[in-house]
Structure 1
Amino acid sequence: MHKHQPPRTRAARALAPLAAIALLAGCSFIPSHERPAAPVPQAYAQPGSEMPTTAKAAADIDWKEYFTDPRLQTLLGIALENNRDLRVAMLNVEQARAQFQIQRANQYPTVNAIASGTRQPKTSGDGYSNLYQAGVGISAWEMDFFGRIAALKEQALAQYLATAEARKSAQISLVAAVASGWLTLMADEELLDISRRTLQTREESVKLTRLRLEHGVSSELDSHQAESLAQAARATYAQQLRQRQLDENALALLLGQSLPDAVRASLPSSRLADAAPMQPLPPGLPSDLLERRPDIRQAEQMLIGANANIGAARAAFFPRIALTAQVGSVSSELSGLFKSGSWAFSLAPQLALPIFDAGRNQAGLEAAQAGRQIAVAQYEKSIQVAFREVSDALAGQATLQQQSEAQRAQVQADSKRLQLSDLRYRNGVASYLDLLDAQRSLFATEQALVLTRLQQLQNQVTLYKVLGGGWTEATAATRS
């Protein structure tokens, strides 16, 4: 009855299995990605008293616009070129891109040129026979009907994108670390200057008390107290010299080389109070961090990759169909290759259906599902960490200015107190202990003011970093 069917009907019946296979080829077991809800409040608890609402977002401000000190810009340029951690992060991106290309290539057959020659005894046992082959072939190409290879490709793509985000995060951290290190060196120079002046004053006080002791105006106790205070200042100065060198070494490691001579020569005259101002930054909303922070985008890509792993683990329960094929010339004589009538081909499809694997596929699926739950938790934690970092920076911005102003007033008061105490001591109205106490108090408050100024400036650097500043598309285009 079939032989009377029209040709179109017979062709349709022949193509039906192919159509079914084509439909299966579009099958995917990857769960749909849904971004988890951000486990943080809708707004920051302390937005700050001087927060601009129309200013440019930190993630849209190039580091050259935010850090306007030419010396710091020079250091940042050097670090972005030479820092080894950033170089490793960039190479990790290249490695992840290559891995993705390898995984993507698995979707396509690999065609190889094949040539072989075989010499073996004849079945009759009389002499030997030769067999020569030449052609092209496909070896065990898996036809991805159930999306296993496609899912692995998606996982490799997500890994590549996550690595690219990690590279951006590394640059943001590097920019902030170099800026903070530069400010620390400026503070070190200012502290050294305070200690140097204090040591000089106390050495003069030692000379004065010895002279007064020789003339019987002061006691030996006053002389020893002055000497003790001078030695304490000398010890502090030595400690700060050591710390300054350690801080310069740390900055040199970030730069990947030593500080330029011109930059180092300008440090002794640097003061934090004269540091180039940084523009105010709007904090925005916590939800903005999802798009602004590379580390959060990295965690989300890892979550997408974990979803793809589930798809690959599900596809492992279904048959795998592999195809091996070869076409070329076969001849018993080498000279007969490629002659008319020597052409041949072979086609060997293979289907493997899991029947018993001792629970391997089920365990693989469970591991992939657990991996996704881990990725969800890591993604949520990255949001919580980002929220806390921004909140901490905003809290510091709201209070450090007030602390700095109060300590500046305290320095002025202690400086006046020292002048009056010295005058009273020289006129015999006050004891030397009052003068020593005034000297110690002024030294401590001057140092505290420098450290608070440093903390205030570093807090501005931190706010820029935690809001996603330090990397822009324009900068990436320029560097590439």
Structure 2
Amino acid sequence: MKLKYIIYLGAVAFLLTNCGLKDRYEQPKIEEESQKGIVRDNVSRDSVSLADISWKSFFTDPQLQSLIEEGLKNNYNLQNAVLQIAAAEAGYRQSKQAFFPTLNFAPTVTANKTSKNSLNFPSNININLKTTTVSLGFTTNWEIDIWGKLASQKRANFANWLSMQASKNAVQTALIASIANAYYSLLALDRQLQVTEETIRLREAAVVTLKALNISSSTTSADVAQAEANLYAAKVTIPEIKQAIREMENLICTLIASPLKEIPRGALDNQTMNKELKTGVPMLLLSNRPDVFAAEMNFRKEYELVNVAKASFYPSLNINSGSIGISALTTRTLFDINSFFGNLVAGITQPIFNRGTLKANLRQQRVRQDIALNSFKNTLIQAGQEVSNAMYAYQTIEDKKEFREKQVESLMKAVEANRKLLEFSSRTTYTDVLVSEQNLIVAQLSQINDQLLQYKAMIELYRALGGGWKGE
């Protein structure tokens, strides 16, 4: 008869568990018009996004690849993100165990000595006042998940685990982009140093030429002095560029968690990068971003915690204590069949006087859910802005590229022509040469900066699309 009631109680608990109060999670819906406005640029939207390219295929420079590998291995922020994943995984595994009863092995030895004066027996009767009880048994506690509270908590912890994984991927994409940006900035500084050194050599030659012309009275002493001043002006920038190079090398060393050292590197003019702008469908491309996925999983966690708060209003069915084992007064009879014992205490707990606290907790959790939803939507908007800005920045540099090349080419011709006129004709002064040289070096440095900005735009687009965490 008792077994019948236990089976009946278990069946009722099972039905209640499957008819819980939890709401089924659905991905937040973004209005169609909002989806269209996430990315505004008219570029190729192939089903294969730029973000699906592994970072080793995107960045082809072997030295840069080595630096990125070192950074992924050593960077402390990335290591902390991995540790946070481990902590979240432990929380998820713990919530899975909540569905099962606890089981503890509880051996006990109890010794009692009863006061003779406390017993109502004749004084002539000999009574054993000392007893020793030996027990070997197991104890258990179990909360049956009637309303889905434990299931919702498990899903919340699972969403938190996924969010931590996505956050780690976001740290990785940002780290790769930071290393690449610093590397290309270093190459640009090398190129600036090279252009400045070439300018110094040309200005040294100009000083020699002007001094020779001054002897023949073809130029004035003022022209010679001005040429020397221009030479020193170029030389004074060399230490500044070298300082910037050292600082950029130190930044890279910090990113890869390496002792400060000289960074092995290639040349800016020899760099190649995947420049085919395939971004994918707007919502799809942004869902590839780890920070977007992390924001969604954070919303899902808060959503499930609302279900936990709802379930807290309803009765909980608990096996408060249960034990089974063997007990005897002597070890000789401990394993006798008559030494077996067992007990089970089950009950239902219904909150009464703390409903105000439960209501406040539910309101707070719903607010946290709304905040998480707004954060998710805001992350989407920011992601779309970053993609759009990166694509437009790249296209802007691409539009300037042809004109910049023609500008540098024309200025080089102008400098050469003015130098020849200065040397062989009186129709040109050193001022004309100086102006053309200044214009040339400004254009050359601008061209280097354009190259750097184009690489940075590509890196930013790759990061903004969520590239860098898939594959190797």
Same fold (TM over 0.5): yes
Shift of the 249–28 alpha-carbon distance from structure 1 to 2, 3 Å rule, reads: farther
Deviations 1:153-174 (A, max 9, x none): 1110000111112222222223
Moved more, 62-71 or 188-197: 62-71
- Pair 1:349-2:346 in alignment: yes
Report the counterpart of residue 205 of structure 2 in structure 1: 204
Moved more, 249-258 or 202-211: 202-211
The answer to whether the 8 Å contact 1:166/1:294 transfers is yes
User: How far is the alpha carbon of 1:461 from its aligned partner?
Assistant: 2.1
Report the counterpart of residue 42 of structure 1 in structure 2: 36
Report the counterpart of residue 311 of structure 1 in structure 2: 307
Structure 1 letter corresponding to 2:427: V
Count of aligned pairs = 457
Structure 2 letter corresponding to 1:318: Y
Residues of 2 paired with 1:214 and 1:330: CA distance?
121
Partner of 1:250, secondary structure, is: helix
The answer to whether the 8 Å contact 1:148/1:315 transfers is yes
Deviations 1:327-361 (A, max 9, x none): 11222334443333111112122432211127211
Shift of the 406–28 alpha-carbon distance from structure 1 to 2, 3 Å rule, reads: farther
Shift of the 338–296 alpha-carbon distance from structure 1 to 2, 3 Å rule, reads: same
The answer to whether the 8 Å contact 1:29/1:310 transfers is no
Residues of 2 paired with 1:136 and 1:304: CA distance?
39
Partner of 1:249, secondary structure, is: helix
Structure 2 letter corresponding to 1:369: R
- Structure 1 portions without partners, runs of 5+: 1-6, 476-480
Deviations 1:126-153 (A, max 9, x none): 7443333221111x42222222222111
Partner of 2:338, secondary structure, is: coil
Residues of 2 paired with 1:335 and 1:128: CA distance?
17
Report the counterpart of residue 373 of structure 2 in structure 1: 376
Residues of 2 paired with 1:136 and 1:15: CA distance?
22
Scaled by the length of structure 2, the TM-score of the pair is 0.88
The answer to whether the 8 Å contact 1:31/1:311 transfers is yes
- Pair 1:136-2:138 in alignment: yes
The answer to whether the 8 Å contact 1:114/1:136 transfers is yes
Partner of 1:341, secondary structure, is: helix
The answer to whether the 8 Å contact 1:56/1:281 transfers is no
- Pair 1:321-2:317 in alignment: yes
Shift of the 368–186 alpha-carbon distance from structure 1 to 2, 3 Å rule, reads: same
Residues of 2 paired with 1:281 and 1:42: CA distance?
18
User: How far is the alpha carbon of 1:16 from its aligned partner?
Assistant: 4.5
Please show how residues 53-92 of structure 1 align to structure 2 within 5 Å. 56-92=48-84
Report the counterpart of residue 456 of structure 1 in structure 2: 454
Report the counterpart of residue 125 of structure 2 in structure 1: none
Match of 1:396 among 393, 398, 413: 393
Shift of the 30–246 alpha-carbon distance from structure 1 to 2, 3 Å rule, reads: farther
Moved more, 98-107 or 119-128: 119-128
Please show how residues 151-230 of structure 1 align to structure 2 within 5 Å. 151-210=152-211, 217-230=218-231
Percent of matched pairs sharing the same residue: 24
Residues of 2 paired with 1:194 and 1:402: CA distance?
24
Residues of 2 paired with 1:243 and 1:116: CA distance?
73
Match of 1:23 among 15, 33, 56: 15
Residues of 2 paired with 1:385 and 1:110: CA distance?
47
Deviations 1:246-284 (A, max 9, x none): 1122222233336998x72x53xx133x31241413122
The answer to whether the 8 Å contact 2:415/2:433 transfers is yes
Structure 2 letter corresponding to 1:285: V
Deviations 1:97-149 (A, max 9, x none): 111101111111111110122234426547443333221111x4222222222
Match of 1:97 among 89, 92, 109: 89
- Structure 2 portions without partners, runs of 5+: 120-128
Residues of 1 paired with 2:279 and 2:185: CA distance?
25
The answer to whether the 8 Å contact 2:46/2:280 transfers is no
Report the counterpart of residue 122 of structure 2 in structure 1: none
Partner of 2:106, secondary structure, is: strand
The answer to whether the 8 Å contact 1:310/1:365 transfers is yes
User: How far is the alpha carbon of 1:374 from its aligned partner?
Assistant: 0.8
Please show how residues 224-239 of structure 1 align to structure 2 within 5 Å. 224-239=225-240
The answer to whether the 8 Å contact 1:289/1:386 transfers is no
Residues of 2 paired with 1:277 and 1:167: CA distance?
25
